[in-house]
Amino acid sequence: MAGLGTVGAGTLRLLHGNAELLAGRGGRPIAVDAVSARDRRKQRGSDLSAVRWFSDAKAMAADPAIDVVVELIGGADGIAFDVVKTALSHGKHVVTANKALMALHGTELARLAEAKGVALAFEAAVAGGIPIMKTLREGLAANRVARVYGILNGTSNFILTTMRESRRDFGEVLAEAQKLGYAEADPSFDIDGVDAAHKLAILTAVAFGTEVDFAGVYVEGIRHVSALDIEYAEELGFRIKLLGLARPTEHGIEQRVHPCMVARTTPIANVEGVFNAIMVEGDFCGRIMLEGRGAGAEPTASAVVADLLDIAAERRSPSFAVAASALRAQPASPMDRHRGAYYIRLMVLDRPGVIADVSAALRDEQVSMEAMIQRGRSPTEAVPVVLTTHETEEASMRRALGRIGSLSTVLEPPRMIRIESL
């Protein structure tokens, strides 16, 4: 086991605590033979006195006595990549929780594993304790998937939920999330959508049999979501969620992560706090939703050890559901071609003709308005004007917003949140 941090320590606890049950289910005991981390003196909450210690995780990955290497260090490159590559090259099975690594190097590593005839398993990399990889790869294997989407980042979901419940702004709630340990000191991976994009890229590959294409994911985080937008969302019957969505389109595979307005009555709108959820729409199974804890020592360990059990029991399915050699490169559908409805919020000077100018910009770009809310009147201060549109192409919407944003009576850049029909 390389890495004994949150997930590593949790995995050790699970392997120890449930050892008998696991031996029964895997058909043989799972023994931790060697470990590696940075600091040998740190207490890990498990007795490691009989376990070999490696200060060099890469050397451990090449050790002939080891059957399976569990990589729980993290990071797309550097030591984690070296450890996984070394283990696979030496014909050892690999289990990892590393979404960054799989999002950036998944195809290459799966092909190496296949060439070496070993398993590369990463259930824990996507939505922690939710068994979505196994569900897609095995349970739903008979289906053509039309769309997969979900709440893939617990930190962002916690922040959006708390903002709504407490009517506070983003910065304040982020600070609270950091205090509670739900957000890192450097929260950018979570709140800027990168972590969700890593997971989405992996999900897409498994759902659609394509090469992992992290660069093809359109990413927008939640920093610009304001308490005011959340209030308007409520009024319009929506909740704002950071979703990752993927589907094949006529222009290629569409992969996007961004805040979405979703109808309050949909199941996903009611997945709150740190919880994650993933929806899969299959042609024969219909819609499936899995909800659970997407992070934390225990749920993530649950996924790591499920992968270990498959290896122990010699159950093997391809990492990305089809042979790695058969994964297809597919173009990424450009975001400009995305079609959907939009929520727009403007801060305007309440002068005659403002709404006419806004409407003209929308009309000229063939964007048709569905509803408009204007409340409060003040000729001297900015007042919010909120509008929603019918389905339109993103490129048209952006052109219209460019024009609207340059009107002298529009005092802030327009805020745009996509409305998803789910």
Ligand X SMILES: NC(=O)c1ccc[n+]([C@@H]2O[C@H](COP(=O)([O-])OP(=O)(O)OC[C@H]3O[C@@H](n4cnc5c(N)ncnc54)[C@H](OP(=O)(O)O)[C@@H]3O)[C@@H](O)[C@H]2O)c1
Residue ranges binding ligand X (CB under 6 A):
2-8, 36-39, 42, 57, 72-74, 79, 97-99, 124, 128, 295-296, 300
Q: Is 199 among the residues known to form the active site? A: yes
Where are the extended beta strands (E) located within 308-356? 339-349
What are φ and ψ of residue 123, in 5° steps? Answer: -50, -40
Helix boundaries (H) for 236-370: 297-312, 354-364
What six digits make up the tokens of 131?
A: 């068994």
Phi and psi angles of residue 370, each rounded to the nearest 5 degrees, phi first: -100, -45
Q: Six-digit token pair at 409?
A: 């009576």
Q: How far is the CB of 33 from ligand X (least distance, A)?
A: 16
Who's near 53: CB < 8 A, 6+ residues apart?
A: 34, 35, 36, 40
Amino acid at 311: I
Q: DSSP code of 373?
A: E
Q: What is the token pair recorded at 233?
A: 């969302």
Q: Which of 92, 134, 199, 241 is catalytic?
A: 199
> Which structure tokens are listed for 6?
């949150």
Rounded CA-CA distance 391/422 in Å is 14
Comparison of 2 and 183: residue with beta carbon closer to ligand X? 2
Positive or negative: CA dihedral 203, 204, 210, 212: negative
Cα–Cα distances (Å) from 130 to 59, 147, 332, in that order, read 32, 18, 27
CA angle 334, 338, 341 (to 5 degrees): 155
What does DSSP assign to residue 135? I
**Tokens 């708390």 map to which residue?**
162
* Other CB atoms within 10 Å distance of the CB of residue 341: 17
Question: What SS3 state is found at 182?
Answer: coil
Minimal CB distance residue for ligand X: 5
Structure-block tokens of residue 281:
């729409």
Q: Say which DSSP state 106 is in.
A: H
3-state DSSP assignment of residue 287 = strand
* Catalytic sites, residue numbers: 199
